[in-house]
Structure 1
Amino acid sequence: MRFRIFTEPQQGGTYDDILAVAQATEKLGFDAFFRSDHYLSMGGDGYPGPTDAWTTLAGLARETERIRLGTLVSSVTYRPPGILAIQVAQVDQMSGGRVELGLGTGWFAEEHAAYGIPFPAKRFGMLEEQLEIVTGLWETPLGDRYSFAGEHYELIDSPALPKPVQESIPVIVGGGGATRTPAMAARFATEFNLPFPDFADVAGKFAGVRSACEAIGRNPAELVYSAAFVAVGGSTEADVARRAAAIGREPAELREHGLAGTAAEIVDRIGALEADGVECVYLQMLDLQDLDHLDFFAREVVPQLS
């Protein structure tokens, strides 16, 4: 089981806040630091304002040494696929080959309105084409050219540069859809992620992705199967209640839907997820100021499951 820290900086946080969490992530032995890719707070004023995901990751690439870095997930509405391919490849170079790309359709209409970003009603076709273009640009041999003509995008005679350091940048596709999402994951993804699923649904959702892989002749074992959950833990019930209150949630609700409670409770919950096929857990840490929270998970939870 791998454990990754996942943050939501649009809720309020500076680059220095994010850097502190990322460096703690590395120091404490977690596998990776991931962040959302959003431009508007989901409740609250979001002060001091959003930080751009790939600008942030470029900075972290130079200020960390080991952890992997990525988005969960970037939206196809934010960047043309050619620009996204350049950004991600550059950050991969800056990090020495530690980048992963999570890509999705986007869903938060209000942030698009707030910052003048077009938000088409139908975006699955955009996602499919972006996945094909981004991976196609990276995989084009040096000296060759890449062209693409689709419904949403056209690239003509691209030099397909720069190249990432990694031979193949891991691509994460996720979601709860029954048909199109599993099909795209089977075709393009290195990892399939379930964002905040109901616990009872995990095994079935993974089974759908495995079936989609088999339908195109891909070995389902080639994919990593992961899930993301809000994480609120503590050595005592008072710690759990304090941390839940800090993010505006109730302990009982968090226990029902997230990874919450004492270390023993969280270990039991993750053990059940592992039995359902989860190989990698994203711990969503919503309070960027509480670095002791990361220490709690690193000290009391992860050693029991590694």
Structure 2
Amino acid sequence: MDLRIFTEPQQGATYDTLLTVAKATEDLGFDAFFRSDHYLRMGSVDGLPGPTDAWITLAGLARETKRIRLGTLMTAGTFRLPGVLAIQVAQVDQMSGGRVELGLGAGWFEEEHKAYGIPFPKEKFARLEEQLAIVTGLWATEVGGSFSYDGTYYQLTDSPALPKPAQAKVPVLIGGHGATRTPRLAAQYADEFNMPFGSIEDSERQFGRVRAAAEAIGRKGSDLVYSNALVVCVGKDDSEVARRAAAIGREVDELKANGLAGSPAEVVDKLGRYAAIGSQRIYLQVLDLDDLGHLELISSQVMSQLS
């Protein structure tokens, strides 16, 4: 099982903080560094010094790291035109030497759109479907060819479909809890399906829906990687778990119920239960980005026990 570090910089983090965490992610043997795509803090935190842009951040990290994969959970479709996004991601993939992955979602947090003057359309999911078709279509167009698209929301005419990513295929991630449309989109466009903050039971049910949707269009369900995103809070003893939970404003019992919390042995056991229902990759939502000792503990006493 792969373990990836997943950060929420809108809660308060500078680029330098993210760079420090990304370098620790690489040095400690984790598979990837991912970040959210938000422009406004959530909850009672002050969010200082303010938001950082996801793809500008990843461009910087692409030049400052060498091994880890880099990506978003999830890029908000409302923030960027699909043609522009395809260019941005392809360029960052080139800058990284082919280590980028694109998680793309519809966008959902209306308040951040109001705060920064970003349109918040009603038909977000329908737009997402066109965005996926455009981004993947642009990348798949052969060099020297052209790409056109006549959709309800987006139209492209004779695009040269450049630049190309460094990878032959940039992995596309789609995720969510929706019972019908989300599995259908994942089956059609995704290389990975991510279940965010879902229980073992809910994850198993949703993975099954995605597999069925893939098979319904003639694709093997096993063609996709299945993953979860879960908050993490690990301590070598109860007092350290409690300290780390308090630092992120959460209760230990709630974290144990809804995330990966407790001793290394407890967390390894729960990871095993997710693996048993088909989860191949876990995005560890790390909320205290100043606590590098947390990452060190997970690396040495959790990740080391996973095959």
For normalisation by structure 1, the TM-score amounts to 0.99
User: Residue 241 of structure 2 contacts residue 262 of structure 2 at CA under 8 Å; is this kept in 1?
Assistant: yes
Corresponding residue SS for 1:148: strand
| Count of aligned positions | 306
Percent identical: 64
Matches within 5 A, 1:261-272: 261-272=262-273
CA distance in 2 between partners of 1:296 and 1:199 (Å): 24
1:149 maps to which residue? 150
CA distance in 2 between partners of 1:302 and 1:256 (Å): 21
CA distance in 2 between partners of 1:202 and 1:55 (Å): 32
The amino acid that maps onto 2:26 is E
In the TM superposition, structure 1's runs of 4+ consecutive aligned residues that sit over 6 Å from their partners are none
Q: Does 1:40 align with 2:35?
A: no
Q: Does 1:178 align with 2:183?
A: no
1:164 maps to which residue? 165
Matches within 5 A, 1:181-220: 181-220=182-221
Q: Does 1:120 align with 2:156?
A: no
- The superposition leaves residues 208-230 of structure 1 with CA deviations (integer Å, 9 ceiling, x where unpaired) of 00000010000111100000000
- The superposition leaves residues 89-143 of structure 1 with CA deviations (integer Å, 9 ceiling, x where unpaired) of 0000000000000000111111010001111122111110000000000110000
2:300 maps to which residue? 299
CA distance in 2 between partners of 1:96 and 1:229 (Å): 28
The amino acid that maps onto 1:41 is R
Tell me the CA shift for residue 199 of structure 1: 2.5
2:25 maps to which residue? 25
CA distance in 1 between partners of 2:90 and 2:157 (Å): 20
CA distance in 1 between partners of 2:233 and 2:114 (Å): 32
Corresponding residue SS for 2:3: strand
User: Residue 186 of structure 1 contacts residue 209 of structure 1 at CA under 8 Å; is this kept in 2?
Assistant: yes
2:90 maps to which residue? 89
- The superposition leaves residues 164-204 of structure 1 with CA deviations (integer Å, 9 ceiling, x where unpaired) of 00000000000000000000000000000000012221111
- The superposition leaves residues 44-85 of structure 1 with CA deviations (integer Å, 9 ceiling, x where unpaired) of 210000000000000000000000000000011000000000
User: Residue 200 of structure 2 contacts residue 273 of structure 2 at CA under 8 Å; is this kept in 1?
Assistant: no
CA RMSD of aligned residues (A): 0.5
1:5 maps to which residue? 5
2:138 maps to which residue? 137
CA distance in 1 between partners of 2:113 and 2:164 (Å): 30
User: Residue 174 of structure 1 contacts residue 185 of structure 1 at CA under 8 Å; is this kept in 2?
Assistant: yes
For normalisation by structure 2, the TM-score amounts to 0.99
CA distance in 2 between partners of 1:223 and 1:235 (Å): 35
The amino acid that maps onto 1:21 is V
- The superposition leaves residues 237-273 of structure 1 with CA deviations (integer Å, 9 ceiling, x where unpaired) of 1110011001100000000000000011101100000
Tell me the CA shift for residue 26 of structure 1: 0.2
Tell me the CA shift for residue 297 of structure 1: 0.5
User: Residue 247 of structure 1 contacts residue 287 of structure 1 at CA under 8 Å; is this kept in 2?
Assistant: yes
Gapped runs of 5+ residues in structure 1?
none
User: Residue 200 of structure 2 contacts residue 277 of structure 2 at CA under 8 Å; is this kept in 1?
Assistant: no
User: Residue 199 of structure 1 contacts residue 257 of structure 1 at CA under 8 Å; is this kept in 2?
Assistant: no
CA distance in 2 between partners of 1:131 and 1:296 (Å): 38
CA distance in 1 between partners of 2:29 and 2:152 (Å): 44
Tell me the CA shift for residue 147 of structure 1: 0.4
User: Residue 62 of structure 2 contacts residue 70 of structure 2 at CA under 8 Å; is this kept in 1?
Assistant: yes
Q: Does 1:276 align with 2:265?
A: no
The amino acid that maps onto 1:24 is A
Matches within 5 A, 1:233-252: 233-252=234-253
CA distance in 2 between partners of 1:207 and 1:220 (Å): 9
Corresponding residue SS for 2:89: helix
Tell me the CA shift for residue 303 of structure 1: 1.2
The amino acid that maps onto 2:99 is R
User: Residue 261 of structure 2 contacts residue 267 of structure 2 at CA under 8 Å; is this kept in 1?
Assistant: yes
User: Residue 252 of structure 2 contacts residue 261 of structure 2 at CA under 8 Å; is this kept in 1?
Assistant: yes
CA distance in 2 between partners of 1:158 and 1:142 (Å): 11
CA distance in 2 between partners of 1:270 and 1:238 (Å): 22
CA distance in 1 between partners of 2:207 and 2:224 (Å): 10
User: Residue 89 of structure 1 contacts residue 162 of structure 1 at CA under 8 Å; is this kept in 2?
Assistant: yes
CA distance in 2 between partners of 1:82 and 1:305 (Å): 40
The amino acid that maps onto 1:252 is D
